[in-house]
Amino acid sequence: MFHKEGQKIIIATFFIVVAIVLSAHFYIDIEWIQYAVQIAALILLILILQFFRNPKRSVTPNFDEILAPVDGKVVVIEEVEEPEYFKGKRKQVSIFMSPINVHVTRYAASGTVTYSKYHPGKYLVAWHPKSSTENERTTVVLHTPKFGEIGYRQIAGALARRIVNYAEEGEQVTQGQDAGFIKFGSRVDLLLPLDCDIAVKLGQKVVGAKTCIASIRKNDD
């Protein structure tokens, strides 16, 4: 199954690849060059199909856990000052997505969208420290039953040139539901309350709508 955001690119790439394969067959006489061109075109199509894949993931909403919003690798776990919405300290967990990861963004928790804003910007590499505040990005905040307000940012990377964000202020959303898409390499930052327990480690690979990123801190008796 492929994400709807990739439909036009997939169709265009398919016809381009067909044209390249046929042209190579009829106009390139040297056999090994003909095969090389055809194989390269088919590899391009396979890469595009892989990038826009959208695997279905069954989620039973859990108000006590924040799930990974995307597939990728945890590259940042730190306390930060968040100036845009919270205007205070938050725990930031950043997940980097390589071009081979699934790039669907899913809601990390169930709740109500209280803030959703797009910011144009630069295209620094996604792991750059300033990418969270200077790159093209969207900031979304959800009000959740257990964690209060949590935020996330979709951040464009050096290859990404379009962020798709479905969150609308006032909308009720469900954990694991499709929240958007980032095309060709990117990062997502989660902005969480200071009193939650982070359940992942730096360098850990996570799966969107599956891996627990944070949970409610249990009081010590």
Which residues are catalytically annotated? Answer: 186
Nearest to 162 by CA among 107, 103, 85, 116: 103
Angle at 9 between CA 38 and CA 122, to 5 degrees: 115
Structure tokens, 56: 């279905």
Cβ contact 54:103 at 8 Å: no
Q: What CA–CA distances, in Å, run from 132 to 84, 154, 188? A: 11, 9, 9
In the DSSP assignment, the letter for residue 4 is G
